[in-house]
Structure 1
Amino acid sequence: MNNLANDSVHSTPVAAWLAEGQSSQRDMLESLQTLKNQLNDSFNIIASHRHNRPEIFEFADRVYREPYPAKVGIVDEIKEMTESATPRWQFVLEHAKANNVQVLLTGRNGVDYEAHREIFDAAGIRLLTGATSVAALESIEDKFAFMQQCHEHSIPVADAWRFDNTAELEALLAEHGHQPLCVKPVVGIFAQGFWRLDTGKSEDSAYDSFEHLYFTEEKKINTAQFINAYNNSVMVHKRPIPMLLMPYLSGQEYSIDVVCEYGEVLAAVTRYKTGKIQHIGYDRSVMDVVIPLIKAFGCDGIVSVQTKADDNGQHCVLEINSRPSGGIGYTTHSGIDLTQVGFGYWLGLTEKPKLADITQKIEPCQVRSIMVSVKIDDTTE
């Protein structure tokens, strides 16, 4: 089964395509349906995913299953795979041309598409990968290279020191252990592998040896136990995982959703979290860091940025995610739906957004996320 749609196309309205994302594809498709209804069905909405995701597909006019090469030994996943030798980018390109797609947001596989940007350009498809070159996407993904490039552009950024083995980690700890520290992978998402280390320099004199196993959401670990686990990890020995040692910044962390074009910020909404509450608005002191950051990396599309303040209140960049954040749907509560702002413009339905105008329309608010269940039909194949 290569797709879930009838491939015959009887009319050629323009279309927007959202390929498989990390976590916000459903929310964005819902926003696009709202925009479409407001504009009297002036465009089609296409979604694709490697798995059968009816709760996502319900907000698309047309859906496709993306090719996903089988992994040896992963028998249980075979039902969820689209058996095809066609590369994902080529599969999407062929169907995008057939459906008069004008804008394609690539989601989680941006590098695959970016390597073939010229072909998409030639087909008249506005490709949104988060940047406009493979090199830029790779420097965004590699957090150590990212930090170095920020320094080159005089952008405040959280410092980091790379280690690839226990000896390097212990040497770094000997040099930098006078301050609160944390570790995270050079490449990773969703805070995977992030831990605050007990160096005796934090607000706690020492982390309980059992606490990090019991309260995992606190992301704290005893330094000696982290070293021991890292040194004796079978996983790390089989597949080395480059890591970063970093100063732990104690200030407020922000997530910033950004609509941008070739390094220019067109619209943005900032948010920070206290407990379970998201505070939505537009913090100019945070954006003073974000705007030059987006320009330096030539970001293009809808991306998200994380910043955190140091002890002096200076906002420092943590990372750019070259795709929409899982919380981009929260922006709808501020009076500015960034999905609609971006796609309305790229589809030629609205004028080019101006950041100064957008900021005037943002209504600060507080948001609490809740769990929503969706009934789906039996999808056994």
Structure 2
Amino acid sequence: MKKRIWFNQWFTTVAHFIDMIRYNSDGIEFEVYGTSNNENALYLSYCDAAFKEPNVSGEEYLQFCLAFCRTHSIDIFVPRKENVLIAKHLKEFNALGVKVLVCPDASLMEKLDDKEATYQLIESHSFLKKYVSIPDYFIVTNAEAFKEAYYALKKKGHTVCFKPVIGEGGNGFRIIQDGLATIEELFYNGVSHKITFDHAYDILKQQSEFPPLMVLEYLDGTEYSIDCLAYDGELMTAIPRKKSKGRVRELEKNQELLTLAEKINEVLEIPFVYNIQVKYKDGKPKLLEINPRMSGGLHYSCLAGINFPYRAVKLLMMGDKAIEYIEPHFGIKASYLEKEIILKDMHLKNVKDSLFLSK
């Protein structure tokens, strides 16, 4: 019998993960369900059944998820949206016979969702300082505090940047530059993440208080994502993925980062699949964030010869019986081409107007 697996509100690149799970080496058959509040989400074309999500969050979204699993007899749920909230309610999904690909430690999930809490967690384990550093930073919620943080960091000789404390990817990230943009930046550098201090300050002054913002030193070195596969405290593999110029990614056998992955695994013991992001400054890796889920660029790391998405699902289904160590292939350099995809005319059913009827 096919296993029914559901992906909710994911990145477009989850289309790669869907194919990797569907065409697995064990020949296990999956029926893939997908939902999104965007009816043109590309990954829906890769699903066997697809639906439009209600535009809700919090408790209402949780109830939608439980109802969807119940109605469609879902076996495996791979959440991205509201994954912290879902981790807090695993018993309710387990009662339905649903296995959820999420870290079961909801308290840890909540900390990793908050960049300040993540930094505090790592700093609380002092031995990790030998392997990774935390950038200099301040947390601010008003324009005057932002100004003070900016000048304090400038006094230390840092270029300054900022980003939301709770956020995903590069959303809200800006580098503060001292002067106005040059013609070269305007014409040739594409979309810029740079902003002057005065411009940022004027924008932030529009509100007496805003959601927590992290103001920190800008790290100007090479950035790496380390994709990890683990279970029950065992780290089966880690792939340091170097972000080179433009679209180029390199799978690098960087022993410093492989050791860092081992040490973070010892401390956090995140199961299944997760991602550590670091960026170098002055020759030392500094932590950006830890994502307890499949990263958007995980498909690059799979070029090392490891089917991360399927192996994570297999660990979820079989536990320690699925622990297997595979020697990855490093030294791989990859990029990608834009490719046109004709979207299926799926006529997605709106879950508010139906009882999740199959398409």
TM range (shorter): 0.7 to 0.9
Letter in 1 for 2:68: V
Classify 1:353/1:207 alpha carbon distance in 2 versus 1 (closer, same or farther; 3 Å). Answer: farther
Which of 43, 54, 72 matches 1:56?
43
Structure 2 matches for 1:62-211, cutoff 5 A?
62-69=49-56, 87-95=63-71, 98-99=73-74, 101=75, 103-129=76-102, 131-154=103-126, 155=128, 156=132, 157-178=134-155, 179-180=157-158, 181-198=160-177, 206=179, 208=181
Does 2:337 align with 1:366? no
Aligned to 1:274: 244
SS at match of 1:315: strand
Stretch of structure 1 that moved more, 151-160 or 140-149 = 151-160
* Consecutive unaligned residues in structure 1, runs of 5 or more: 1-11, 71-83, 200-205
TM-score, with length taken from structure 1: 0.77
Aligned to 1:331: 301
Residues 199-249 of structure 1: per-residue CA shift (max 9 Å, x gap): 6xxxxxx55377776646442222233222322x4xxx2871321111122
SS at match of 1:87: helix
Is contact 1:46-1:62 (8 Å) kept?
yes
Classify 1:89/1:364 alpha carbon distance in 2 versus 1 (closer, same or farther; 3 Å). Answer: same
* Structure 1 stretches of at least 4 aligned residues deviating more than 4 Å after TM superposition: 209-216
Residues 283-317 of structure 1: per-residue CA shift (max 9 Å, x gap): 22113223333443442332222101121x22121
1:327 is displaced (CA, Å) by: 1.1
Which of 184, 193, 203 matches 1:229?
203
Number of residue pairs matched? Answer: 337
Is contact 1:265-1:294 (8 Å) kept?
yes
Aligned to 1:309: 280
Is contact 1:306-1:318 (8 Å) kept?
yes
SS at match of 1:184: strand
Is contact 2:42-2:343 (8 Å) kept?
yes
| CA distance in 1: counterparts of 2:184 and 2:204, whole angstroms | 18
| CA distance in 2: counterparts of 1:107 and 1:259, whole angstroms | 17
SS at match of 2:33: strand
Does 2:46 align with 1:46? no
Which of 10, 14, 19 matches 1:30?
19
TM-score, with length taken from structure 2: 0.82
Stretch of structure 1 that moved more, 367-376 or 341-350 = 341-350
| CA distance in 2: counterparts of 1:211 and 1:162, whole angstroms | 33
Cα RMSD (Å) of the superposition? Answer: 3.0
Classify 1:134/1:348 alpha carbon distance in 2 versus 1 (closer, same or farther; 3 Å). Answer: closer
Residues 16-63 of structure 1: per-residue CA shift (max 9 Å, x gap): 33333133321110111221xx43454443333344357423433444
1:277 is displaced (CA, Å) by: 0.9
Which of 235, 245, 249 matches 1:265?
235
Letter in 2 for 1:364: G
Which of 253, 262, 272 matches 2:223?
253
